[in-house]
Structures are given as C-alpha cells and as structure tokens.
Amino acid sequence: MNQIMDIISKEIMVVVVAAMPLMELKGAIPLGISMGIDPVTAAILGVIGSFIPVPFLLLLLNPIFTKLRRNPTWRKWIDKIINRTVKKTEKIHKYKALGLLLFVAIPLPTTGVWTGSLAASLFRIPFVPAISAIFIGNCIAAFIMMTLSKVAVSL
C-alpha cells in the first residue's frame, strides 16, 4: 500500500476514491483531509472525482441495462438493482430534478451520484436537468462532508 501511495499523489487518490461507487465524496473528502489536504481543496477534488462518471452513467445505463436484460442470467441481477433503486428513490420520481438534487445532496450511504444517475436514467429525467441537479446536489453534499470532516478533525 505504501508503494501505491508513493506513486499516486494525495490529490489524485482523492479524485479516484471520489469516482468509486459507494465511496464517492463521502469517503474521499475525509480521506483527503486526513492526508493533510486543505478541506476546501479536498471538497473540490471530491466533487470533480465523483462527477467524472455522471455523464457516462446518464447516457449509458439504460442502453446497457436493456441489452443485459435480454440475457436470462443478467435479467435477475439487473431487475434486482432496478427494484432496489426505485424503492429508494420514490421522491425523485415524484419531484423529478428537484428530488434528484435533494437525494444526491444528502450525504448518506447509497444517496450519491451513482444511485442518483441510475434513478435519473430509470425515471427518464432529461440529460441537462439531471446532470445539473446531480452537480448541485453533489456540491451541497461536498460542503456538508467538508464541514463535518473539519469539525471531526478539530475535536
């Protein structure tokens, strides 16, 4: 692990962790701050990293899921993901882009850009409103995580 840390800069590591599903900026910002990165810089890097997959997810999830569902082996797995996401994101369906923004802004497990992008695709929220809502929600989540991380470090 130390060899990897020597090769990859702290900033790149924060961006990479933020781009990962489940971790996203909720893990990247505290990681960056714990490695000595300024909290504002860690938050900006977290937003950048977590936003990298969003355009690809919004554009490619529906076609990929449609193609995979043709195969009986994948259908059950895809249906499970879709059903779980729909249950968690009912408010997004009702409030569209505003619901998507609020969903992404809450920094809890499974409420980030990956699930938000999947929900936007499933509920067919148009690309521009979806990407805008996800970006703004992600910035709000970054601010919350930065603030919580700064408080935790000062204790």
pLDDT of residue 8: 76
Residues of the chain with pLDDT under 50: none
The parent domain of residue 115 ranges over 2-154
The single-letter DSSP state of residue 22 is: T
Distance CA 43, CA 32 (A): 8
Distance CA 3, CA 141 (A): 31
pLDDT of residue 153: 75
The single-letter DSSP state of residue 20 is: S
The single-letter DSSP state of residue 10 is: H
pLDDT of residue 1: 54
For the chain, what is the domain count? 1
**Average per-residue pLDDT in the chain?**
91
